[in-house]
Amino acid sequence: MERLEDYSSYILGVIGILTLALSYFLLRTDPEAAVPYAVTPPAQAQPGWKGEVLAEPSLKVSGSSLIQCYCPATGESLGRVLPTTASGIDRAIGDAKEAQVQWAQTTFAQRRRVLKTMLKFVLENQEIIARVACLDSGKTMVDASLGEILVTAEKLKWTIDHGEEALRPERRPTNLLMMYKKNEVIWQPLGVVAACVSWNYPFHNLLSPVIASLFAGNAIIIKGSEATAWSSRYFATIASYALIACGHSSALVQSVTCWPDVAGHLTSHPDISHITFIGSRPVAHHVCASAAKALTPVCVELGGKDPAIILDDMSNSNFKRVCSILMRGTFQSAGQNCIGLERVIALPNVYTRLITHLTPLISALRPGSILNSSPDTPIDIGASISSANFPKLESLIQDAVAQGARLLVGGSQFQHPEFPRGHYFQPTFIVDVTPSMRIAQTELFAPVFLLMRAESVDHAISIANSTPYALGASVYGSSSRDLERVVREVHAGMVAVNDFAVTYMVQLPFGGMKGSGYGRFAGKEGLRGVCNQKAITRDRWPGVKTSIPGPMDLPLKGRGAAQRAWGMAQGIVWLGYGDWRGKVKGIKGLIGL
């Protein structure tokens, strides 16, 4: 008992220390904790809202420069937006440029706090975000969840967890000649960057470049499509209000919407340091030509004709799972997905089985407006953003059928009985398509399941590589040898094995090659892409510095000086890069032998 009393003071001391430590961890304030904030949602996104159904839904307003915003699923007016003028773009860039000077001095912890604040808002407001996206783009709530909210949450979380590591100064190796130097690469803010993004994912396409640009220390001018001008204002406010909540300037995020004749003022502006473009190939030519006037670098993400290659060795247990993936990959957002499945290329043993299994599934798909339908009436596919492309789609399908393809389901515009002013195309299943058909070479961006037959793995890879595009691809099967062969030989910027588009869900670099663009966003590569990559070399040891050897010092001195300088220069090269014999030769050259 006496021995226990001897230790009692130590025991009490330990308990006291543990109590203090626990209190500290429980009561401490996290300097990066998310800050609550609110954004008033648009009245149109409230349940039960009904708008005026336009007689002829169009973005143009006769006799006016205003943008007529409307819901493509119903034709209901969402209101009108005043487009940004050239002088408005100048003001936005000026305000962003001024705010960025202070933002560039913030720490990664401060930037993380802004992103954590945004992530908290997104998680807590999923329904209203999805409803706004559905109204402006016509998609379903599930499509909005998967294609808008899920991937935005992933980008926020990845940047919060790994962004600092990606932008941390990186040591680089040296060599024999430069052994007295130490080298590193650092990534610094560019200043004011811009992003011109497409309408198919109005929330994610707008927020994604904002996330990367802010974390890199930049300000950003974000130009959404005029087709989704209504939602762009609300979605941009989510980012700007997060900045305000964390004590920073909302001027760091500037949302502009303009007609094409004004967009060139933004893309050629000398104060823009980098442009991210997401859109079509024809528009990309204009953007890149405009950006070239100021020598502004552009990351170009265009469309694709993404193949899914189905190998013959697929197990029975995987067949239905893969079919479900193919259905989602094709009909997600009514096919308006840059990495959507545009071609399914199947080997002979599975080809007929796919037709038998998929035909009734595609026939059963129900288009409609999820926000206006009864809970008892499931909606599988939303609307297209516009009906302008429907005649071309019908022509491509008819041309393929004339050349031997079989149209099993759909194939034409759908007049919805409840939403006659909505833009709908029938869920379509066309088989026996060959590479020579126009439909096999053209990005459809539509709810069309296109099935092609390949006789072998060689043939499947050849078909996959037969288009001008090379964005994403996927391959399904059991043989590791065949799977890895497809991974190596298919032309693509991204490949998913036995899955669809999941490279983006782990923030691997996103982008393609050939006619699908160049550059990458997402992941470490994307984050570094909106930075100035600066190479730095410093002296490794005090007093050891570069000196020009006497025989090479300008001006050269004395008879034979040029020959001595040349001999020493050769000696330096041999010493640095020759084998041991070459190094001996180099030393001789240095000492003039």
Which of the residues are catalytic? 301
C-beta neighbour count of 248 within 10 angstroms: 20
- Give the 3-state secondary structure of residue 533: strand
Torsion, Cα of 96, 102, 108, 113 (10° steps): -70
Do 430 and 406 form a contact (C-beta atoms < 8 A)? yes
- Residue 330 and residue 337: Cα distance in Å, rounded? 8
Do 458 and 312 form a contact (C-beta atoms < 8 A)? no
Sign of CA dihedral 467, 505, 107, 103: positive
DSSP annotation of 305: -
Closest alpha carbon to 69 in 307, 232, 228, 297: 228
Do 443 and 389 form a contact (C-beta atoms < 8 A)? no
Copy the structure tokens of residue 419: 């939403």
Length of the chain counted residue by residue: 593
Burial 346-385 (b: 16+ CB within 10 A, else e): bbeebbeebbeebeebbeebebbbbbbbeeeeebbbbbbb
Alpha-carbon distances, residue 169 vs 115, 186, 200 (angstroms):
22, 5, 36
Name the residue type at position 441: Q
Do 49 and 36 form a contact (C-beta atoms < 8 A)? no
C-beta neighbour count of 484 within 10 angstroms: 12
- Residue 213 and residue 240: Cα distance in Å, rounded? 13
C-beta neighbour count of 555 within 10 angstroms: 5
- Residue 586 and residue 497: Cα distance in Å, rounded? 52
State yes or no: cis peptide before 173, omega within 30 of 0: no
- Residue 512 and residue 471: Cα distance in Å, rounded? 4
Question: 513-514 and 77-81 as β-strands: parallel, antiparallel, unpaired?
Answer: unpaired
- Residue 252 and residue 32: Cα distance in Å, rounded? 19
Question: 494-497 and 472-476 as β-strands: parallel, antiparallel, unpaired?
Answer: parallel
- Residue 574 and residue 584: Cα distance in Å, rounded? 8
46: Cβ–Cβ under 8 A, 6 or more apart, which residues? none
Name the residue type at position 97: K
Name the residue type at position 529: G
- Residue 237 and residue 222: Cα distance in Å, rounded? 12
- Residue 526 and residue 523: Cα distance in Å, rounded? 5
- The H-assigned helical ranges of 255-389 are 260-267, 281-292, 316-331, 348-363
Copy the structure tokens of residue 307: 């193949």
108: Cβ–Cβ under 8 A, 6 or more apart, which residues? 163, 164, 167, 215
